[in-house]
Each structure stands twice: as structure tokens, then as C-alpha cells.
């Protein structure tokens, strides 16, 4: 599964891992805002790695959790969905608006293996200091370079280089950061 090869999700080992994750996800999502230590402990148990000073606001939905690493000082707003069938790597100082989706699963285009419930996945990598506006969807196999800003509602289907602004569906680069800026810097949507 982690190698990107076809697998069946109802495999008993995978199903047990998914149940473990679902229970930990419930625990994290039920934590009180008044108890940040309990929230942090639940998140650390759910995810593979959580950097110092990182904040992820519930609700959060993951497939397995332990395939996700999040760098220090990252902020993820409400409603994130991180389907970590393959590895998801989130860098340091990343900002994510509400309802961001990082989706690693893929399915065969051919109808017969899809009907037989075969699936696969490709990893996602989000570089340091990336800003994903509200509702951004990142598709399987995508890498986003450091300092890049992705506008609200964009669907990222292909890799984005470092230091650019990208918007739309599918997301396309509209400029390099530092080009054509006049006055105060504004972004895609408040994280």
C-alpha cells in the first residue's frame, strides 16, 4: 500500500489499522479546547509525527494517521481531511485554511479492477511555509514547493514549484512570489 501498489482495503491487517485510527480520531475530535495538553497528546498518538508548536483544530479526519508527519509551527484550521493511504509530509510553518483536503488514494481507471475493489495511493508533500487557502484539495502524488500560496478552493492536480501563487481548478501558477506586488500583501483566504 505504502509503495503505491494495488491493494484491497478490506485486508484484515489494514482494517484493524483503520479501526485503530478511527477510535483515535474520535478521541482527538472530542477533546476540549479548555484542555490543550489532552488535545496535543491525542494528536501525537493519532499522527506519525507532530512538530513543536503545531496546532490542528478539530474536526480532523484521517485514514490511518501514522503515515502523516507535520513539521513545527504548522497551523491547520477546522475540517481538514488527510487521507493517508500513502505518506503525507507537511513541512514547517505551513498554514492551512478550513476544509483543506490532502487525498493520497487512487483507483484504477479500468472498471473491472475498480469493481473488484483494488486501490492504490501516491504520497503528498507540502513544503515549508506553504499557505493553502480554505477548501484547497491536493490530489494524489502532488508536491508543493516551499513558500507557495494556493488560493481558496483550488484543486491541485500537478506539482507546484516553490515561491509561486497558484489558483483555480485545476490549479495553475499565476505568478512568482515577489513579482508584480504593489501595496500590502494579501492572500487567498485567512487560515
List the catalytic residue out of 57, 107, 172, 175. Answer: 107
107 is known as an active-site residue: yes
Map residue 164 onto helix, strand or coil: strand
Cα(76)–Cα(78) distance, rounded to whole angstroms? 7
Query: Which one, of 47, 51, 43, lies nearest residue 64 by Cα?
Result: 47
Cα(191)–Cα(184) distance, rounded to whole angstroms? 17
Catalytic residue positions, numbered: 107
Amino acid at each position: 500500500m505504502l509503495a503505491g501498489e494495488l491493494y484491497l482495503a478490506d485486508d484484515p491487517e489494514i482494517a484493524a489499522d483503520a479501526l485503530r485510527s478511527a477510535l483515535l480520531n474520535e478521541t482527538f475530535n472530542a477533546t476540549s479546547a479548555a484542555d490543550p495538553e489532552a488535545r496535543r497528546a491525542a494528536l501525537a498518538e493519532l499522527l506519525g509525527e507532530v512538530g513543536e508548536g503545531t496546532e490542528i483544530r478539530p474536526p480532523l479526519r484521517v485514514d490511518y494517521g501514522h503515515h502523516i508527519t507535520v513539521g513545527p509551527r504548522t497551523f491547520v484550521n477546522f475540517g481538514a481531511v488527510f487521507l493517508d493511504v500513502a505518506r503525507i509530509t507537511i513541512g514547517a510553518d505551513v498554514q492551512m485554511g478550513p476544509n483543506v483536503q490532502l487525498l493520497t488514494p487512487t483507483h484504477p481507471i479500468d472498471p473491472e479492477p475498480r469493481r473488484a475493489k483494488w486501490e492504490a495511493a501516491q504520497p503528498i508533500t507540502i513544503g515549508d511555509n506553504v499557505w493553502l487557502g480554505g477548501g484547497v484539495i491536493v490530489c494524489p502524488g502532488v508536491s508543493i514547493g516551499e513558500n507557495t500560496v494556493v488560493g481558496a478552493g483550488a484543486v491541485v492536480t500537478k506539482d507546484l514549484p516553490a515561491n509561486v501563487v497558484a489558483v483555480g481548478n485545476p490549479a495553475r501558477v499565476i505568478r512568482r512570489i515577489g513579482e508584480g506586488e504593489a501595496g500590502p500583501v494579501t492572500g487567498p483566504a485567512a487560515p
